[in-house]
Chain A
Amino acid sequence: VNAEAILADTVREAGDRIRAALAIRFRDLDLAEEAFGFASLRAVETWSRDGPPRDPAAWLYAVARRRAFDLGRRAKVRRDAIHDAPQPPSNPETLLLAAFEPIPDERLRLIFICCHPALAPEARIALTLRTLCGLSVERLARAWLTTEAAMQQRLTRAKRKIRDARIRFEIPEPDAWGERLEAVLATLEIAYAQAYEDAAGASEAADLAGETLRLSRLLTELLPDEAEVLGLAALIRLAESRRPARLDAAGAMAPLSEQDVRLWDDRLIDEAIALMRRAAEIGRSGPYQLMAAIHAAHATRRETGFIAWGDIATLYDYLLTVRPSPVAQVNRAVALAEALGPDAGLAALDAIEDPGRLAGWLPYQAARAGICAKAGRAGEAAQALRAALALDPAPAERLFLARRLAELSA
């Protein structure tokens, strides 16, 4: 019997559910983590000796729960446990029965706790990936390009605040629902942005992208009637579908409108479109659905061979009304330049407020360079490219910008 393989399968299948059930039942994230770790170790020992149980997930949950009760009693934290928590099973019969008790699905509650707006945004996703998905501190530190010690501290601080300030262990009330859900979605968005950042797609980041895809899917299962949840899941899938096409053969960044559509991941695009259809049926639009729609408009190039820039510009107009941002303004200018001509694009760029701040912002300079080149203003385009190159772009983008600059000079 390969106990370790069975354990790995069980943890992959049911790990998040067991971790969440423990965390919520004992209202203590550290205790839950420790108990789950203990149960996993005990599983390998016991299953190699006696063979695996009929229901390995239920076995893990029962053993972890018993361990948590013991640890809790020992640490005298029992008074903090929920009042209706049953007594620990004391004899073999109750233990056996408990082993077949279904594992309650507390994943949504745990997500809401880990993504509570009273926690620092950069701590939320790390906490979610640690406590729900079981990612190691070492792996999280790698994804965030920080040290293990710093990541551990971030997690410890967040967990201490949950405990000491007593963050509520319940699903938010209707009056708080909007804000709380927004915090959850923003957390996932930050995680994916982190994973997406470098076009070269370092393996750690790609790994994080996989976890974000999984979490966003889980959220659509837990909250099937929230249109923005579906919208975000679609958005992440559309962005991720292009990962194989984001670099050209020379390792330079390939801009979305020039990517080889044959490299896109059709399965992810189709999944995203299905999610967007479901969201549209709910009939409550929002920024994530709009962003997904913009990505989807680009994705239709797969079938039509062209980009409907006019539609994309209109979608950015809508997006700017519900969620104004410099990124959306710059991208709208690019779409207008393609749809109506470079003059319209430049006018839109120039209309963005606070040009002083934008000058030091890479996407702005890159967009400016593209539009100026299109307008035949080579000097200004080269100037913008040099400004962009001075802003420390990631290697793949540097290659792309340098190549454009060389083309202009030629």
Chain B
Amino acid sequence: MQYLLIIYSNEAERDPATLQEITAAHMRLGAELQETGAMVGGNRLKPSDTATTIRTTGGVQSLHDGPYAETREQLAGYYLVEAADLDAAIAWGRKIPGGQNYAIEVRPIWPIG
């Protein structure tokens, strides 16, 4: 079963030194996911000020500058992993680096068809 591990972090809290450290930790986690065959995919995202939101209201689409939700913690990246169960997916989620304050949402993939 596949799980999406969604990273939410505070973009304002980043200094270059910790960012470098966190990136290195992501590389190590990526390698571990690859080795164990758990890695399905993953990426980091550019900061939320580069986001564009297409909103449909009453069937009419309009574009907005910015992310879907203006929250303190923003979607920053994700891993897609293969795991036996939620507990195994949570164990991977715990290993995702991100500094002192951040959140990982663990969501099972709902296959189509």
Contact = CB atoms under 8 A, between A and B. Distances in A.
The contact size tier of chain A is under 10
Given A165-B86, A166-B85, 6 more contacts: A118-B90, A165-B106, A166-B1, A167-B87, A176-B87, A176-B91
14 contacts: A118-B86, A164-B108, A165-B86, A165-B108, A166-B1, A166-B85, A166-B108, A167-B85, A168-B84, A168-B85, A168-B86, A168-B88, A172-B87, A176-B91
A168 B90 CA distance: 11
A165 B88 CA distance: 11
Interface of B: 1, 84-88, 90-91, 106-108, 110
A288 to B, nearest CB: 25
Contacts of B87: 167-168, 172, 176
Interface string A157-194: 00000001111110010001000000000000000000
Interface in A109-148: 118
Contacts of A118: 86, 90
Contacts of B85: 166-169
Contacts of A176: 87, 91
A255 B1 CA distance: 54
A181 to B, nearest CB: 14
What are the 5 A-B residue pairs with the smallest beta carbon separation, nearest first?
A168-B87, A168-B85, A166-B85, A165-B86, A165-B108
Question: Which DSSP category, helix, strand, loop or mixed, fits chain A's interface?
Answer: loop
A169 B84 CA distance: 11
Contacts of B108: 164-166
A179 to B, nearest CB: 10
Contacts of B106: 165
A95 to B, nearest CB: 33
Contacts of A167: 85-87
A169 B88 CA distance: 12
Interface string A208-222: 000000000000000
A165 B106 CA distance: 9
B104 to A, nearest CB: 13
Nearest to B91: A176
Contacts of A169: 85
A116 to B, nearest CB: 8
Nearest to B1: A166
B5 to A, nearest CB: 13
A169 B90 CA distance: 15
A336 to B, nearest CB: 36
B80 to A, nearest CB: 15
A168 B83 CA distance: 11
A118 B105 CA distance: 11
Contacts of A168: 84-88
Contacts of B1: 166
Nearest to B87: A168
A167 B110 CA distance: 15
A280 to B, nearest CB: 33
A237 to B, nearest CB: 32
Contacts of A165: 86, 106-108
A165 B107 CA distance: 7
Of A118, A164, A165, most buried by chain B (CB within 10 Å of CB) is A165
Contacts of B86: 118, 165-168
Contacts of B91: 176
B85 to A, nearest CB: 4
A168 B108 CA distance: 13
A246 B1 CA distance: 52
A176 B85 CA distance: 14
B88 to A, nearest CB: 7
A45 to B, nearest CB: 39
Nearest to A172: B87
Contacts of B107: 165
A107 to B, nearest CB: 19
Among A166, A172, A176, chain B packs the most CB atoms within 10 A around the CB of A166
A166 B86 CA distance: 5
A254 to B, nearest CB: 46
Interface in A275-321: none
Among B1, B85, B88, B107, the most chain A Cβ lie within 10 Å of the Cβ of B85
Nearest to A166: B85
Contacts of A164: 108, 110
B96 to A, nearest CB: 17
A166 B107 CA distance: 10
Contacts of B90: 118
A118 B87 CA distance: 9
Nearest to B110: A164
Nearest to B108: A165
Interface in A220-258: none
A118 B106 CA distance: 10
